[in-house]
Amino acid sequence: MFSLSRKNVITLVIFSAIVLTMPIWLKPLGAAYPGLMQKFVIYAIFAIGFNILFGLTGYLSFGHAAFLGVGSYTAVWSFKLLTMDMIPALIFAVIFAGIFALFIGYFSLRRSGIYFSILTLAFAQMSYSLAYSVLTPITFGETGLLIARDDPRAIDAMLGVNQSASGMPVPSLLGFELGGYSGFYICAVVLIVAFFLSQMIFASPFGMALRGIKSNQTRMMYTGFNTKPYMLTAFVISGMFAGLAGGLLAVTDPIAGAERMKWTESGNLVLMTMLGGVGTLVGPVVGAWLIKYLENIFSAINTNMLNNFFDFLPDGVQTVMVTVMSKFVGEGWHLTLGLMFVLIVVFLPGGLVEGTERLVRRFRRIAGPSDEPTGKMASGRAGND
């Protein structure tokens, strides 16, 4: 079970080190605060889970945000009804998201290609519309599901756990209150475990079977191989990762809103995975970080900050620079995002991770012949389409 190639172990160790040292290396990038680091880590889990489906089987789901939403709603309800402890919340989030994925996957996987994509999209959009309107008694619609001080919390009440005297109750882990950095480190550990699991899946016979389905499903079936249970398992695992990510969103910030299930969120996830590199192990993580970074840091830069930044320039040049740059940051951060998509696809085919590798390989070939066939990072890559 726990068999990994040496290369994978090295990748895992490096990956863990990078994740756990985030507060250090994100500092100069202006992103070393718990709120964003938690999002980095959680969306990385989300993207890793999505990659297990999309990267291994080539089935492009456009409805994964629904599982994220289900995970969040389940976790917040667990906070409201049972206990502020995160463990039951996460367990229920994963289970409910898994059941939901089983249902949607069972129907959607009857079709392939774009028909599959549209089926998942339709299920997710239905969930979103209903959560926003008709299901408001459960989801609290527009204003979102929030915890309140007078929620029942049956287990906490039974165990006589003291509700915090001041402020709102805070999610905890075995009595240890989570928030800020502790929340980040808990999520980081979960991410490392998730990454490890995804390595295991990529290297396992199960992963091989999925790749076989991706390269030629018909041939797999002719060999007497029943592909359906494999696909469904991959879909449910992927949905459970999304549920886990949704649960963690609620743990670090106890609110669940319907917007988390909208198609734009699913679309974001697809873009994250593609940007980093479909089918590579670290690609989706890199993609998730990049998009979240742009969304949170670039959007917060205003002309004031630009003026300070370009202060060293002569007045006229400063004004020009600030005017030009202000089109790309603040309210214009979407422009940067769009240009980045285009440039990366054009110049780094296969996404950031694979594209960079190709560049490195080409560079090496120019610098001197080498026998190294593949880069270290792309160990799990299975080829795309």
Binders in 259-288 for another protein, by CB under 8 A: 259-260, 263-264, 267, 270-271, 274-275, 278
Q: Which of 33, 206, 293, 310 binds another protein (CB under 8 A)?
A: 33
Scan residues 59-88 and list those touching another protein (CB under 8 A): 60
Residues in 208-247 at the binding interface with another protein, rule: CB under 8 A: none
- Selected from 92, 96, 140, 241, the binder of another protein by CB under 8 A is 140
Rg of the chain over CA atoms, in angstroms? 22
Part in contact with another protein (CB under 8 A); list of ranges 45-53, 77-85, 92-100, 340-348: 340-348
Scanning the structure block, which residue is given the tokens 């994100």?
Answer: 26
Q: Smallest gap, in angstroms, from Cβ of residue 272 to another protein?
A: 11
- What is the separation of C-alpha 246 from the centre of its chain, rounded to a whole number of angstroms? 9
Alpha carbon distance 330, 39 (integer Å) = 20
Nearest residue (CB) to another protein, 171 versus 239: 171
Among 138, 349, 359, 362, binds another protein (CB under 8 A): 349
In terms of CB distance, is 142 or 158 closer to another protein? Answer: 142
Decide if residue 152 touches another protein (CB under 8 A). no
Q: Distance between terminal CA atoms of the chain?
A: 29
Backbone φ and ψ for 172, nearest 5 degrees, come out as -140, 165
Q: Is 308 in the site for another protein (CB under 8 A)?
A: no
8 A C-beta contact, residue 76 and residue 268: no
Contact 171, 86 (CB under 8 A): yes
Is residue 187 involved in binding another protein (CB under 8 A)?
no
Please identify, using beta-carbon distances, which residue of 227 and 299 lies nearer to another protein: 299
SS3 292: helix
DSSP 82: T
Query: Which window, 81-89, 139-147, 155-163, 225-233, contacts another protein (CB under 8 A)?
Result: 139-147
Long-range CB pairs of 132-137 (<8 Å, 24+ gap) are 132/258
Burial 333-346 (b: 16+ CB within 10 A, else e): beeebeeeeeebee
Least distance in angstroms from the C-beta of 342 to another protein: 4
Residue whose CB is less far from another protein, 23 or 88: 23
Q: What is the DSSP letter of 143?
A: G
Task: Please select the residue that binds another protein; options are 227, 293, 309, 330, rule is CB under 8 A.
Answer: 330
Q: Is 122 in the site for another protein (CB under 8 A)?
A: yes
Dihedral angle sign, alpha carbons of residues 33, 35, 36, 38: positive
Alpha-carbon gap, residue 70 to 258, rounded angstroms: 9
The count of chain residues that interact with another protein, using the rule CB under 8 A, is 110
- Of 312 and 347, the one with the shorter C-beta distance to another protein is 347
Q: Which is nearer to another protein, 95 or 305 (CB)?
A: 305
25, 103, 176, 181: which one binds another protein (CB under 8 A) = 181
Residue burial 67-82, b: 16+ Cβ < 10 Å; e: rest: bbbbbbbbbbbbbbeb
